[in-house]
Each structure stands twice: as structure tokens, then as C-alpha cells.
Structure 1
Amino acid sequence: MKIWVIGAYGIVSTTAMVGAKNIEKGFQTRGLVSDLPVFDKLMEINKFEFGGHEIRIKKNAYDAILEHWNLNRHFDFSLIENVKDELEKIEAKTGTALNCGSGLKELGEIKTLEDEGYTLREIVDMVTSDMKEFADDETVVINIASTEPLQKYSEEYHGTLDGFERAIDENRTEHISASMIYAYSALKLGLPYANFTPSIGSNLPALKELAMKTKTPHAGNDGKTGETLVKTTLAPMFAYRNLRVLGWMGYNILGDYDGKVLSHKDNKESKVISKDSVLEKILGESPYSITEIEYFPSLVDNKTAFDFIHFEGFLGTKMKMYFIWDAIDAIVAAPLILDLARFLLFAKRKGQHGVIKELGFFFKSPMEIDVVNTHKQFEELVSWYKSLE
């Protein structure tokens, strides 16, 4: 299969590429949900070709992963050298970062289509052309670019496909963001699309309409990989045991480019909302909560979260629980990129289209479904797969 990655030179993208190419050569698949025995048919999808869009200036994926590896040393270097030739062939196309916020200046030297003076219609046409040139019938598009600021909803331009396309033709750049452009181009071409970021992506009535029109499956938003994965796995325990959560504090510190971008308030806001909204959906009420994300340069990609939970039990007694999540973000996120590609291709093969709600297992803010309990999400994923295999 082919995977077109938005943010192709990021640490998650390039780590996924290294992993996929080593898996092709027989390396183990630990961390891949799609390699669990229950999903046996997905294991047949074991060849991966990569392309993508990027705004950071690098020669190729090998050049990009070297930079990330030198900062993080997050796996054995021999795994890079083992697939060096394949990585050097992955050269991303220049992408767009329209309305992606002030955090982009933290990415270093960048080049965008809008900086070249292209109109919105020209940008959309170029992005679509790049995808079309790469794609075949087994291609999936996945957005792993930096988090965008929250976008103000416009019923006129976001509510219908006609309105969205009119915004493009009228060059209404204030209403269109990069993630919307990538989602639109993918769905227009009938390419399954996943949004692994908190950005809006395909989560607009206009783009959901397009997905139904082109009979294309899509899913999102915001990959559930670390602290929120633990939170949505642990919080149900309190509900099951009739314990009342009085307050939940989560303090996240991280470095690397993700941390730099999220150190800007406009980029951080949608990430905080995504992380903070899960408790009410699981507990049925909103306990007092604090969710903080702070840039801590020396951690690089070693994302650490400190959580404090205050809860009430039998006879009104108040008690406390603490946990620490400490993991390499790219290592927990990268396999999910391959998982989503496999599941979306499977969905396409089975004639599924529109929002694939059952893929909510992979997201903090799944579209069109309020289930964020990890246990229930996994059960729904398995049931959906079994109903189609």
C-alpha cells in the first residue's frame, strides 16, 4: 500500500517510515494494533510506499530522520542504516501551512506554497495534483503536521461543499486552513484520510459531504498515544466502582518541534481542549480539571506527564491517586500511523465510506461518536472488523 503523509519529515512520520521498511525486511511488529491476532486479515497489508507534503526544507526522509535521531537516539541506529536507500528515495513535495499559527516559526527553515504567492485555488490544485501523481487504488492520506490554531466556523463556507469550494475560488484564505486543504484534496480524489492531529481536517459538514459524495472513508481527530490513552483507560475504573472523581490534574512537558509549536498559545488551545474533554464523556460529569502543556527543551521527544486524581469513596472519604507517563512520543505514535493506513484501506476494500466511527479507538476526539472509553472503543473496533472480514 501507499501512504501519503502530511508532515512527511516530522519525527513521527520518519519513525513510521523506518519501522515500516524494517518490518518489510522481517523486523518485529511490537506496538502495531493491526498485528494483533484478532485482525489477521490486516497482516496481509505489509508493504509500504511513502510520499507526502512538507514545509521544512530537507533533502529527503533519510536527511530528516538523521536530525531527529541525533537529538533523541530513540531506537537502534542500525535500523536507519538498514533502510537508508529506501529513505533517500522519499522526497516530499512542498506543502501549505495556511493559517497554521505563530508556532511555525519554531520549525526552522520552511517553504510554503502561499509564500510563493499562489492563490488558494492554485494551492489546492497543486496539492491535489501531487497526491494524484503518487496515488493508486491502495493509497491512504494521513495528516501528522503540527497542530493548527482553532478555526472559527463559518456556516457559509464550511457548512456545505458548494460553500467550501466557493471559498476556494473566491480566495477566502481567512476561512480555509492547511488541514482542510489536505483533507479536501484527499477526499476529492477518493483517497481514505485520517487526521492524527487536533486540527480540523475533515471534521467539517462540507468535507463530510464530500466524503459521502466520493464514497471515501475518513477518520480523526488527534491521535491518542500517551497521557490521554492512560486517562481514558483509567477513568472508567472510577465510574465502574461508583467512585466520584473530584478533580484531575494533568501536567505535560515535552520538547522537540512539537513542544516548540505548542509553546505558542494559539497552537496549544485546540490540543488542550482535545485532551481535556474526555473526562465528562466517560464520567457523565465534569470534575475540576487542570490540563497544562509546557515546553521543556531538554526532554526532546521524551514526553512526560504528571497526573493527580482526587476522588471520593465510601462514607465520603477523599483519597488520591498519582501516575506518571514517560515515553518517547514518536515510538508510541508511529505504529498507529501504519495501523490507521491498514484499517482505512481495509474499510475502502469493504465498501465503507464516510466517517469510520469505529476507528475512534485511535483518537482523543473521535468524530461523530462520544465514546472515548478505551475498553469500549476497542470492543467496537473488533466488532466492526469482525462484521466486515
Structure 2
Amino acid sequence: MKIWYVGAYGIVSTTAMLGGKLIEKGRMETTGLVSELPQFEGIEKYAPLKFEFGGHEVRKVENAYVASLQHWELNRHFELDQLEEVREDLEKIRAEKGTAINCGKGVQALGELDVLENEVQTLSEIVERLERDVKRFADSETVMINSASTEPIIRYNEKYHDTLDGFEKMIEENAKEYASASMLYAYVALKNGIPYGNFTPSVGSSLPALKELAIEKKVPHAGNDGKTGETLVKTTLAPMFAYRNLKVLGWMSYNILGDLDGLVLSHKENKESKVISKDKVLEKIYGYSPFSITQIEYFPSLADNKTAFDFIHFEGFLGRKMKFYFIWDAIDAIVAAPLTIDIARFLLFAKKEGMYGVIKEMGFFFKSPMETRNVNTHSQFEELVRWYQENA
């Protein structure tokens, strides 16, 4: 199978490429891959663990090996001999120049960007270049995964975002203030029949216009915002209080992280959509909104170690107030990277079984799954298993 990563040289994408190639060579176990659980037996017929990777990138880096080495030097999140074992494979992966249009000050903080908007003037030209790159790589086995940095919340415009005709008019009229990189990538993927998974909180394919395009072209898509760490624990633990009829009075989540993700999210406009994505899950689970504090802070020395401190205040029998605490400490790329492969595999499965539009049964993988309010990890997993087994 082929995976086209938006943000190809980021730590999540490069870790997925490294792991994918090691698995392909039989040099690594499949621990961390949901799609390799016994419940999903037979998925290799649809999406074998043999990979070709490509993508778009906005930073100046020579190839995926160099990018992986840079991330390793900061994080030591895998063994160096693992990287050297697939060095030749990664050196062949050279990302195409992407767009960072309306990606905010956070992305600008990554340094000098090598982006299409430095070369061309209009949205039409940007889309044309993105489409050319993708079509040169893609075939019927291709999925696009957006693992780029989080964008600011885009200003919604009914004229351009509600219908496919309107969206294409936005491109034609060069209405740049209403466009963002993630929606342009999603448009290119869906227009060309390529399943699209949005691993970020950015708008991606969630616009009504792009949902319309997915239906018209009969393409599956899913998102948004990969559920990998603190929110995974929150949506697994929170139902326990509901099952026991305990009232959650308040939930504080304090997240600290470093690396490029933390740097981008240290800017308020980029952070906003991430906080919203993390914060809404409690209301969806309980049907009421406990007092909540959700903070994300940049802590440079942590590198890719993401640490979260959670405090839950709850009320039990006889009105007694009690407390629960937990700490999540994990290497973000290690928990996130395999999920991007899972999402690609399930989307390819969906395509080959003739499913299209939003695949809401894949909500298990996302903080803010489209077209469903179910964020309960337990029932999401059951839904994923049932969907797969009924259609395989």
C-alpha cells in the first residue's frame, strides 16, 4: 500500500515510515498496530504491511532519512541501528514542496519555510501543483494522511464552505482568507479518489463542501485529531464514572510537551483548535458539562515526551466529594505513528469494500470524530470491530 503524508518529515510521519519499513522487512513486531489485533484478521488482503511512502513538506530537509536522524538526535525515541537498517529505503523518500497557507504563526516559528506560495500566486496554482505531485505518486492502493502541524481555526464562510460549487469558486476567485492548507490537501485527495485521514484538529475534510465531494467521488474519509495520549485515557476512564453513577464536578487536564509540535502549539491561534478538540469529550460522554480546565504548554526540554497531569473531582453516595489523579507520560510519536498506518489500512479496506463518505465507525482513532458524538473508547472499539467484521 502507498501512504502519502502531509507533513512528511514530521516526527509522526517519519516514525511511521521507519516502523513500516522495519515491519515490512520482518525486523520488528507489530505491537501498537490496532489493525493487527485478532479481531481484524484478514485485513492484510486489503492492505498488506508492505509500504511505499511519499508526501508534502514545508521545511527544507533532504529526505526522510535526514529528517528521521534529526528527530532522533533530539528525542532518542528509537535505536539508531533501527534507522540505519532502513537508511536506503528512507533516503529514497523525498517529499514534495507543500503549502502552509493560513497555518498561522506557530508553523512560521519552525523556521524558513519552503512553500508553494513563495513560487505561485493563486489558490488555483497551489492546488494544481499539489494535484500534480499526488497524481504522480498515487494508484488505487494510496491513502493520504494529514499529520502536519495544527492550523488556527479558519474563518467559516457559507458561500465557499457549504457546497462543492462554492469551494471550487473560492479557489477560482483566489479567496485566500477562507482557505487553509489542510482543506486544499483534502480537496486534492478526494477529487482524485484517494481516501483521506485527518490526524490533526485542522479543518481537513470536515467542511460540508468536501463531504459532498467525497460522496460524489465515492471516496472514504475519516477524522479528526488522532486520539493518542491524555485524551485516550480521559475517554477510557471518564465512562467509568458514568457507569457507576458518580457525578464528575470538575476535570483539570494540564499538558506539557516539547519538540516541534509543542513549539507550534505555543502560539495561541494554533493551540485553540487543539484545546477545543480535547475539551469537548466530557460533555459528549456525560450529557452535561463539568467544570473543566484544559491547558497545553510548551516545555522545550521534554522534546517528544508528552506529559499530562489530570485531576478529577467527583461526587459519590451521600454527596461526598472525592478525588482521582493520573499522570500520562509517553513518547508522542511512538503512540501516534502506528495509528496513522492503522487509519490508512482501514480506509483502504473501506474503499475496496465500496464504502464512501465519512467512515464514522473509525471514530475510535480520533478525539473529534466526524458525524458521531460517541467518544467512549470502549464502545468505539466495539463499533470498529463490528463494522470491520460485518464488511470483511
The answer on 1:9 being equivalent to 2:12 is no
The 1:117/1:126 distance shift into structure 2, 3 A limit, reads closer
Q: Distance in 2 between matches of 1:89 and 1:109?
A: 24
Q: Distance in 2 between matches of 1:236 and 1:19?
A: 33
AA aligned to 1:28 is E
Paired position in structure 2 for 1:375: 378
Paired position in structure 1 for 2:50: 47
Q: Distance in 2 between matches of 1:210 and 1:105?
A: 30
Residues 106 and 257 of structure 1 are in contact (CA less than 8 Å); yes or no, is this contact kept in structure 2? no
Deviation at 1:106, TM superposition (A): 2.1
% identical equivalent positions: 71
Paired position in structure 2 for 1:30: 31
Deviation at 1:115, TM superposition (A): 1.8
Q: Distance in 2 between matches of 1:75 and 1:32?
A: 17
AA aligned to 2:82 is L
Q: Distance in 1 between matches of 2:180 and 2:163?
A: 16
SS in 1 for 2:128: helix
Paired position in structure 2 for 1:270: 273
SS in 1 for 2:42: helix
SS in 2 for 1:107: coil
- In the TM superposition, 1:351-366 aligns within 5 A as 351-366=354-369
Unaligned runs of 5+ in 2: none
Q: Distance in 1 between matches of 2:80 and 2:320?
A: 51
The answer on 1:61 being equivalent to 2:64 is yes
Paired position in structure 2 for 1:302: 305
Paired position in structure 2 for 1:171: 174
Paired position in structure 1 for 2:18: 18
The answer on 1:92 being equivalent to 2:95 is yes
AA aligned to 2:86 is V
Paired position in structure 2 for 1:217: 220
Q: Distance in 1 between matches of 2:231 and 2:13?
A: 21
Residue number among 99, 103, 113 corresponding to 2:116 in the alignment: 113
Paired position in structure 2 for 1:184: 187
AA aligned to 2:10 is G
AA aligned to 1:131 is V
Corresponding residue pairs, total = 389
Residue number among 241, 256, 261 corresponding to 1:258 in the alignment: 261
Residues 194 and 220 of structure 1 are in contact (CA less than 8 Å); yes or no, is this contact kept in structure 2? yes
Deviation at 1:152, TM superposition (A): 1.5
Deviation at 1:364, TM superposition (A): 0.1
The answer on 1:280 being equivalent to 2:283 is yes
Q: Distance in 2 between matches of 1:233 and 1:16?
A: 25
SS in 2 for 1:272: helix
Q: Distance in 1 between matches of 2:112 and 2:73?
A: 18
- In the TM superposition, 1:197-208 aligns within 5 A as 197-208=200-211
Q: Distance in 2 between matches of 1:384 and 1:334?
A: 23
Q: Distance in 1 between matches of 2:373 and 2:319?
A: 30
For the aligned residue pairs, the C-alpha RMSD in angstroms reads 0.6
Q: Distance in 2 between matches of 1:118 and 1:211?
A: 27
AA aligned to 1:29 is T
Q: Distance in 1 between matches of 2:190 and 2:108?
A: 29
Deviation at 1:117, TM superposition (A): 3.3
Structure 1 length-normalised TM = 0.99
Residues 120 and 126 of structure 2 are in contact (CA less than 8 Å); yes or no, is this contact kept in structure 1? no
Deviation at 1:116, TM superposition (A): 1.8
Structure 2 length-normalised TM = 0.99
Q: Distance in 2 between matches of 1:107 and 1:329?
A: 18
Paired position in structure 2 for 1:333: 336
TM-superposition CA deviations, 1:195-240 (whole Å, max 9, x none): 0000000000100000000000000000000000000000000000
Q: Distance in 2 between matches of 1:164 and 1:263?
A: 31
SS in 2 for 1:121: helix
Q: Distance in 2 between matches of 1:109 and 1:149?
A: 19
SS in 2 for 1:310: strand
Q: Distance in 2 between matches of 1:198 and 1:22?
A: 29
Q: Distance in 1 between matches of 2:275 and 2:82?
A: 34
Q: Distance in 1 between matches of 2:145 and 2:43?
A: 18
